[in-house]
Chain A
Amino acid sequence: MIDATGLELIARSVRGSLGEGTVRDTVHAHGQATLDVRPEAVRDVLAYLRDDADEPFDFLASLHGCDYFPKEPRLAVHYQLLSTERRERLGVRARMTVEDAEAGTLPTVTDLWATADFQEKETFDFFGVRFTGHEDLRRLHMPEDYEGHPQRRDFPIGGEPVLFTYNEHKVPRWYE
């Protein structure tokens, strides 16, 4: 388990190799360590942690999105790294505004870990985070003509009329 000092050492080594601005913050809470990283630098930081760091992390356990609404910057993508050798976990988090997320500030990590493919698609589907460089970014769970990103906090929970051929004239433009 990484303690608070260990986390600071990791942050220092990342900053030392990739620049002062790459790691914005470190969070150590509930026995878990998280690096808060600038979104543009995520791929470099993860590549560094996987290949070049003194204590590398070889396994990407999970990649998921999160919406911190009403806090700003709202959206975040979390990467859960795991070192199978030292049995340690490290979270990496990139927070960004909705505009930045949709503009494609965040680079893909599918070239580092193939597992990111489905999980980036899912994050795109649910949060509208556009991963630059992903070869086939499309909706995964929702229908491909779905409008909106349902896991955002400002997306309402509720039903929508089911459109069949018999009622499609009766509910004209129900989606507006």
Chain B
Amino acid sequence: MSNGPLSMPYREREESVTLERMEAPLAGTEVEPDAELFTVNMGPHHPATHGVLRLLCTLEGEVVRDVVPLIGYVHTGIEKSCEDQQYWKAITFVERMDYLAYYFNAYVFCAAVERLLDEEVPARAQYLRVVHMELNRIASHLFWLGTSALDLGAITMLWWTLRDRDSILDLFEMSGGQRLHTRYFQVGGVMEDIPPGWAAKCRDFTANMSTRIDQYEALLDENQIFIERLRNVGIVPQERLRSLGVSGPLMRATGDPWDLRKTMPYCSYEDFDFKIPVGTVGDHYDRYRVRVAEMRESLKIIEQAVDGMPEGPFITSNRKVALPPRHELATSMEALIHHFKLVTEGFRVPPGEVYEAIESPRGELGCFVVADGSSKPARVHMRDPSFVNLQCLPDMARGELIADLVAGIAMLDPILGGIDR
């Protein structure tokens, strides 16, 4: 410890922090030697950065020459905390990473643990998961649509989309008891069956929602300012995006129909009839169109899943993994023992490691879990799509106006809770 950087007193150490690399001239940009470059710090507290994202922008006049995303302002060590939690308690932690797509975080973690346990999930539970994930996808896209339009100056959209998002949250509250971070998915199934009347309310919502999407499109698609701000802005070649590991709507906007729900189906997505919307040139306008079209496809999936919901249990009957039903506790000693073991110690998972990947609203959401045989995971890693996709922001923004950088962040749809974890 004595020779490390910490052997200095705190004050000196703080002064020794250098910003040399950030202030150094940019490699690879073509700038006249006498042109004046101006470095502007944007964020971490800035309404257009969708969270605590800090961008170090180098400007030449109003043109962006380089952007360096600096992250870590909401790093909360969730991956580390998960290592100290039993598997069923870690679900609560992982949900809070990407806070707009909590059902997806919970699903991918549960699916990874189920794969480690070789646990079968009942068909009804799979359908319930699909319905909730697709509702969550719409909620996430609605929030994205509202805030993005707000960044571009269209304030009305925020109120309209949040109104519809609220009716989705009402459905979540009805089925899981919470509006956000519901922890509805369990290892082996879901927490509870949907209550009576839920399906009817959900159908009401889907019937309503397609008209609402028509209204949004009528507002935005014929708005000259909105179109001018998006069309032919922020184009990144498909090959470059693939090298950057970008997935999800950003990738599909360039015309690549890669969607894990279709290409590598999980959670019985192969049962449903839906299309993968793709764009043509890959500009901001295509990104907007792809997401809006995805909402319509999600509505189709929800309708099919609610109509074709199979009867049967909503969680696995394996008492070593899932809690026994409440009424059994009063009569069965065995159920009481299982209940006690699960609540105090949790279930043990045989040693192994898996990487599970699903399609979240932002792209490939991967979860890597290592089990060491105990009741706590030895490692949980989330491959968060926001984190990986953020790397394409400099490519999007270079050579464009700084106002388009704001549009770029909006169309990137980064969730800082997922980026920093």
Residues of B contacting A139 in the complex (Cβ-Cβ under 8 angstroms) = 72
B355 x A175 contact (CB < 8 A) = no
* A5-38 to B contact mask, C-beta < 8 Å, 1/0: 0000000000000000000000001111000000
How many residues does chain B have at the interface if contact means C-beta atoms less than 8 Å apart? 51
Q: Is A53 an interface residue (CB 8 A)?
A: no
Q: Is B357 an interface residue (CB 8 A)?
A: yes
Q: How large is the interface on A (under 10, 10 to 19, 20 to 34, 35 or more residues)?
A: 35 or more
Q: Is B403 an interface residue (CB 8 A)?
A: no
Residues of B contacting A89 in the complex (Cβ-Cβ under 8 angstroms) = 355, 357
B383 x A64 contact (CB < 8 A) = yes
Task: Give the distance to chain B from A61, nearest Cβ to Cβ, in Å.
Answer: 6
Task: Give the distance to chain B from A7, nearest Cβ to Cβ, in Å.
Answer: 15
Q: Is A114 an interface residue (CB 8 A)?
A: yes
List which B1-44 residues lie within 8 A (CB) of chain A: 1, 4-6, 10-11, 13-14, 17, 21
Task: Give the distance to chain A from B78, nearest Cβ to Cβ, in Å.
Answer: 11
CA distance A66 to B352 in the complex (A): 13
Q: Is A97 an interface residue (CB 8 A)?
A: no
CA distance A67 to B79 in the complex (A): 13
Among the listed A30, A65, A80, A140, which residue makes an inter-chain contact with B383, where contact means beta carbons less than 8 Å apart? Answer: A80
Closest to A143 in B: B72
Q: Is B245 an interface residue (CB 8 A)?
A: yes
List which A75-109 residues lie within 8 A (CB) of chain B: 78, 80, 84, 87, 89, 91
Among the listed A59, A87, A153, which residue makes an inter-chain contact with B245, where contact means beta carbons less than 8 Å apart? Answer: A59
A114 x B364 contact (CB < 8 A) = no
B258 x A84 contact (CB < 8 A) = yes
Pairs A-B, 10 closest by C-beta atoms: A115-B245, A62-B383, A141-B72, A141-B75, A64-B381, A114-B243, A114-B244, A62-B366, A115-B244, A66-B379
Residues of B within 8 A of A (CB): 1, 4-6, 10-11, 13-14, 17, 21, 71-72, 75, 77, 79-81, 83-84, 115-116, 118, 240, 242-246, 256, 258, 263-264, 352-355, 357, 364, 366, 368, 370, 378-379, 381, 383, 387-388, 390-391, 420-421
Given A84-B258, A115-B388, A142-B75, 17 further pairs, Cβ under 8 A: A29-B354, A61-B245, A61-B383, A64-B383, A66-B370, A66-B379, A68-B370, A68-B378, A78-B368, A80-B357, A113-B245, A145-B5, A145-B6, A151-B80, A157-B83, A157-B84, A175-B6
A-B contact pairs, 30 of them (CB 8 A): A30-B115, A59-B242, A61-B366, A62-B355, A62-B368, A62-B383, A64-B383, A66-B379, A68-B370, A78-B355, A80-B357, A80-B368, A80-B383, A84-B263, A87-B264, A114-B240, A114-B245, A115-B246, A126-B79, A139-B72, A140-B71, A145-B6, A147-B4, A147-B6, A150-B80, A157-B83, A157-B84, A163-B10, A168-B10, A175-B1
